[in-house]
Amino acid sequence: MTPDDPQTLVSTGWLAAHLNDPDLRILDASWHMPDAGRDAKAEYDAAHIPGARFFDIDEISDLRSELPHMAPPVEKFMSRMRAMGVGDGHQVVVYDSSGLFSAPRVWWLFRLMGKRDVAVLDGGFPKWQREERETEDLPPMVRDRHMTVQRQAGLVKDVTQVAAASKLLDHEIIDARSPERFSGAVAEPRPGLRAGHIPNSRNLPYGNLLNADGTMKDAAAIKAALDAAGVDLSKPVITTCGSGITAAIINLALERVGHANHALYDGSWAEWGMFTDLKVAKG
């Protein structure tokens, strides 16, 4: 059993005990790969944890960018959260319908906006349902709530910063994609992208940080997975993946083991794999 921490990860039991807290806000941040054939919003409408609001990762993003679901401008994040009734003084719990997949992305996004009272639901909606806990299909009653944001620029990296880190070897770059995608053995799911990985990056498939039931491994097992991937935790870490979603699982895991010096490469392979002037490693 992983210890509950309202700033990183909480159990279904913790959430059930706090479900009626007046300053609790629950977000369903389910997101699926485009080829998964699943509609996250429709699934939310059919059943969700009582009081949960739907957080649309694709819409609450920087739609000016050609890259998928890049972090939104501060003003957009604030306005969307206000409309959802999420603001200052709230404890936020984020979950997804896969177990532990896209919710850490929204946890990271709140961190980027300077909000620390936010946790991911360990095991997500599948665990909640397996335990036969209460669900509903009604939208919550929402009241506007003011939100103050202080963007933490150090938590996100752009392509120039990642390229420098790849050359200078002064960061550990950790890629959450599958070994087949990392090595370049299979084609990328997004058309037009080269196969392979950022030179001098390490591969830690996000599934290696999870238990069979979709919960996150404990601190000792997380450290073992980092060690097995060859990660040197004396260095700051940059996480990456296909499009900046599952990379955040590594950020969450790093936070759980007390390694606070980490950032996420928001463009991830959707950006790096597109530009022919950036080097690609294989194998």
Of 40, 104, 121, the residue nearest 244 (C-alpha): 104
Of 259, 281, 255, the residue nearest 184 (C-alpha): 281
Q: Which residue in the block uniquely carries the two structure tokens 């210890």?
A: 3
| Strands in 141-208 per DSSP E | 156-157, 172-175, 201-203
Helix-helix angle 103-112:247-256, to 10 degrees: 70
Exactly one of 9, 27, 119, 241 is catalytic; name it.
241
Distance (Å, whole) CA 160 – CA 239: 15
The Cβ of residue 277 has, within 10 Å, a number of other Cβ atoms equal to 5
Three-state DSSP class for 93? strand
What six digits make up the tokens of 282?
């294989």
Distance (Å, whole) CA 200 – CA 197: 9
- As a whole number of Å, the end-to-end CA separation of the chain is 36
DSSP H helices, 114-246, are: 124-130, 159-168, 179-183, 219-228
Instruction: Tell me if residue 35 is catalytic.
Output: no
Spell out the residues 6+ positions from residue 155 whose beta carbon is closer than 8 angstroms to its own: 108, 111, 112, 262, 263, 264
Of 153, 186, 167, 151, the residue nearest 269 (C-alpha): 186
Catalytic positions, written as ranges: 241
